[in-house]
């Protein structure tokens, strides 16, 4: 009985965390990258099927925190639009958001562990406000 | 802000709902009753809210004025190219209208930048190129800042500079405004909602038919 309860609780916890990635996407990314992750023509790069997610996997945690400016090439097309970072996101939230992006919109990329994201975030601590 | 928009669009929808056949669209905005004397009798005319004359410049440095839109149906909105919030969504929805009426010369699109200092002709040109749109159909406009904010109020769209960095420094409504050949506002839509833009796409032919009827 206790085992079942524990399992249920754990499952719910896990499910909530999966939803957190989606919730964070909707709140922070969707208005530009769109509901289906296709971006906006030559202005905003896609997330769906983007080679950038695998090629720049190590840089993505800091990119989410501090944003990025200048040109970038995604699937052979050049983009040049600043993306604001989301300074308020914690390591756990960035992990969930990254895992949501890496495994949705048709993407089947490797997931991150919390520890891995923590290490990748070390060079880019949140700015003092 | 979002709530106010939902409320106002809700109000407008309730006035425009009717069957597709024989459908008409209301003239929106304040109207005035003006009395005048005709042969000793007093006649009351209704004067409808009309968009005043304007002069802006588009992404190809062309002058865009009231003459550009005379006799045409047009859809207009307010945005800025560095907007991190609702603008990309609005532009993806406006692209649907663009694609639908790309080959109809009687339909134009006018998007005003509310950050004209940053959004110069060159910036708008690059933006248009990346959106793969042409200026004979979709004019991205810049000009005197005061003139743009003034005309926003005439289109009944809230727009202001708020200095809030997270929102890009400006606040504006996500409305798409449908305007007829006499520069009367005939519909207000939520440019961030696909369903509302579906309605806009359906309403445009109502005005195009009106125009044809008027020419008969």
pLDDT digits (tens, 9 = 90+) for A12-56: 555 566 599 999 999 999 989 999 999 999 999 999 999 999 999
DSSP code of residue B169 = S
Query: Cβ separation of B130 and A42 shorter than 8 Å?
Result: yes
Region of B113 please: left (phi>0), alpha (psi -120 to 50) or beta. beta
Q: What is the complex's ipTM, to 2 decimals? A: 0.77
The alpha carbon of residue A2 is apart from the nearest alpha carbon of chain B, in Å, by 46
Burial status of residue A15 (CB atoms within 10 A of its CB: 0-12, 13-18, 19 or more): exposed
Give the burial string for B155-176 (b: 16+ CB within 10 Å, else e).
bbbebeeeeeeebbbbbbbbbb
What does pTM read for this prediction?
0.82
Interface probe with A: pick from B79, B87, B88, B164, most Cβ of A within 10 Å? B88
pLDDT at A38: 96
Q: Which residues pair with B175 in a beta bridge?
A: B190
Query: Cβ separation of A34 and B85 shorter than 8 Å?
Result: no
B28: three-class secondary structure by DSSP? coil
pLDDT at B1: 43
B82, B84, B92 member nearest A40 (Cβ): B92
pLDDT confidence band for A128 (50 / 70 / 90) = low
pLDDT at A5: 61
pLDDT at B9: 46
Structural element, H or E, at residue B46 = strand B41-48
Residues from chain A that touch B130, judged by Cβ atoms under 8 A, are: 41-43
In contact, B177 and B27? CB cutoff 8 Å: no
pLDDT at B162: 84
End-to-end CA distance of chain A: 49
The residues of chain B scoring below 50 in pLDDT are 1-19, 216
| B96 at interface of A, judged by CB pairs closer than 8 A | no
B-chain residue closest to A87, CA distance: B166
Residues 98 to 127 of B: which have CB under 8 A from any A CB?
127
In contact, B94 and B109? CB cutoff 8 Å: yes
């Amino acid at each position: 009985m206790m085992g079942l309860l524990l399992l249920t609780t754990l499952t719910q916890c896990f499910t909530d965390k999966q939803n957190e990635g989606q919730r964070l996407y909707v709140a922070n990314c969707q208005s530009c990258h769109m509901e289906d992750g296709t971006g906006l023509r030559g202005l905003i790069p896609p997330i769906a099927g983007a080679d950038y997610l695998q090629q720049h996997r190590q840089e993505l945690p800091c990119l989410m925190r501090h944003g990025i400016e200048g040109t970038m090439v995604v699937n052979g097309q050049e983009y040049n639009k600043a993306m604001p970072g989301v300074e308020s996101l914690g390591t756990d939230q960035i992990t969930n958001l990254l895992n949501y992006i890496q495994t949705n919109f048709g993407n089947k990329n490797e997931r991150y562990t919390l520890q891995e994201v923590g290490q990748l975030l070390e060079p880019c601590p949140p700015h003092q406000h | 802000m979002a709530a106010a928009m939902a409320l106002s669009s809700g109000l407008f929808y309730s006035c425009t709902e009717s069957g597709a056949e024989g459908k008409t669209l209301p003239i929106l905005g304040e109207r005035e009753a003006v009395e005048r004397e005709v042969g000793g009798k007093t006649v009351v005319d209704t004067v409808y809210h009309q968009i005043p004359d304007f002069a802006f410049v588009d992404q190809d440095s062309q002058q865009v004025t009231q003459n550009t839109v005379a006799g045409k149906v047009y859809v207009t909105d307010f945005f800025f190219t560095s907007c991190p919030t609702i603008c990309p969504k609005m532009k993806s929805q406006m692209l649907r209208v663009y694609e639908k009426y790309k080959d109809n010369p009687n339909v134009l699109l006018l998007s005003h930048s509310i950050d004209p200092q940053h959004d110069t002709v060159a910036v708008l040109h690059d933006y248009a190129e990346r959106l793969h749109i042409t200026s004979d159909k979709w004019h991205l406009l810049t000009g005197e800042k005061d003139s743009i904010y003034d005309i926003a109020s005439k289109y009944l769209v809230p727009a202001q500079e708020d200095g809030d960095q997270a929102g890009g420094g400006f606040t504006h409504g996500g409305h798409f405004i449908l305007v007829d050949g006499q520069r009367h506002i005939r519909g207000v839509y939520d440019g961030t909602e696909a369903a509302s833009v579906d309605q806009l796409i359906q309403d445009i032919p109502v005005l195009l038919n009106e125009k044809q009827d008027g020419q008969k």
